Amino acid sequence: MAVTGDDTAATGDMPTYQIRAPTAALPQGVVMAASPGSLHSPQQLAEEATRKRELRLMKNREAAKECRRRKKEYVKCLESRVAVLEVQNKKLIEELETLKDICSPKTD
């Protein structure tokens, strides 16, 4: 997998959401087409067209699943970063208040 989101979670740069994965092997059950030169009759052509469509749908089905998986991962990463930044922000506000107390002149 080319997406390396975990190492940047909640710290530095956002992971690249859209990174192309190297083309994986065909899903199970997919059979490569016969060579086009071996097709002649309209029926054979129709079968070939159907087979190509089914192959395309199968690939896109898998691609959509993977795309959603990456998106969920990305969103989780963003959420955890938000959580970290909120804690950080809270600490800084507290620190600021402390410094204000220290530096402000006493008015008794």
Partner DNA sequence: TCGCCCCAACGTCAAGAGGA
Partner DNA sequence: TCCTCTTGACGTTGGGGCGA
Q: Interface with DNA by CB under 7 A: which residues?
A: 17-21, 23, 57-61, 63-68, 70-72
Chain mean position to CA 72: 7
Q: For DNA, which is the closer residue by CB, 9 or 17?
A: 17
Q: For DNA, which is the closer residue by CB, 25 or 102?
A: 25
**Could you give the CA distance from residue 3 to residue 92 in angstroms, rounded to a whole number?**
32
Q: For DNA, which is the closer residue by CB, 26 or 92?
A: 26
Minimum Å distance from CB 101 to DNA?
A: 43
**Could you give the CA distance from residue 35 to residue 39 in angstroms, rounded to a whole number?**
8
